[in-house]
Each structure stands twice: as C-alpha cells, then as structure tokens.
Structure 1
Amino acid sequence: MVKRTDLLVEIVHRDVRKGNGVKVLGHEVGICGEEVMGIGENGKEVWMVEFGGCGVGMGNGIEDVKGVGDVVRKWNKEGGVGDVVDEGVMGK
C-alpha cells in the first residue's frame, strides 16, 4: 500500500512492478530490454528504469530512481518526458 496524497492510496500486490510488465510486453512483441527506454519517478518504477537499455530518472523523482537511471531529466511537468523522447527516440 502506498499513500500518494490525502485522497489517494494505491494498493497492489507486492510482486507487481512496472518493469515486469514492460519485460513481458517486450517479449510478447519481440523487443529486447536493450531496446526499451524506462522513464520513472517513483519506487514502483526503479526496476523498469534499471531494465531498459536507456534508463531515465525524472527530476521530480525519488533518489532511488534517479540513482539507477542512465540520465536524469527535468521534472515531468516541465516537459522532461517530451525532451527524453525527442532526444532518445526522435534523435533531436
């Protein structure tokens, strides 16, 4: 159980991780981990950021996520995700 705000609590099984979902989906569609960009900010996303060929910690993320990323970019509300996609996927 994770309390996000006074009005939001997330309840998930302890073995559920976004990285596991990305790994399974990649396998299903024939994409290896090295071809995945994992972008994260919270504890459930640490393994996903580690798993991908390019791991990105968001500037507003927790230190655990920023620490495992290959790069750290500005906050998501400041366009950080768009910048990462432009850099990594679009080659801008």
Structure 2
Amino acid sequence: MLVLTRQVNESIMIGDDIEVTIVAIAGDKVRLGISAPARVAVHRKEIAQAIKAENLKAAGVDSQHVGDLSKLMGKKQPGEGGKPGQPA
C-alpha cells in the first residue's frame, strides 16, 4: 500500500484521468473529492461490498429453478431426449 501525506486542496492522480483531492480535514475525518470519468465506478468500500454481495446473490440461481421455469415455458432441458428442432 502506498501511503501519502497531503494537505487540504492538494491532490493525487491515479493514472491519467482520476484525481483525488483533499477537500477538508475535521478532527479524525477527511473529506475527499474524486474526479473520474463516468465509465469509472466510484463507491465507498462498504457500498462496493454490498453491491458485490447483491450481485453474487442475484447470480446464484438454483439449477432446479431453471428447470422448473423451462418446464413452465414448455421447453425440453438438455438430455431429455427428442430430436433437435422438433417440438416437445
């Protein structure tokens, strides 16, 4: 981890297009300003972790549910027999 010392209104650059500026220091809190392109997601760590957890939870679809949904839609699952291209 790189550790830097900065004063209020001083910045650091990350790459060519991300600038982190010390906006204010009050007691044990530091206020940062972050300038980054729109394509770069900027979140507090706890928010980024919550987003990741929700994405993993959403992606964790149980295979049984996929099979149930396919049956409801009238589609054969792989390995159920029948000839390709023929209706069930």
Length-normalised TM-score, structure 2:
0.25
Of structures 1 and 2, the one scoring higher in RCO (CA 8 A, sep 6+) is 1
Structure possessing the higher radius of gyration over alpha carbons: 2
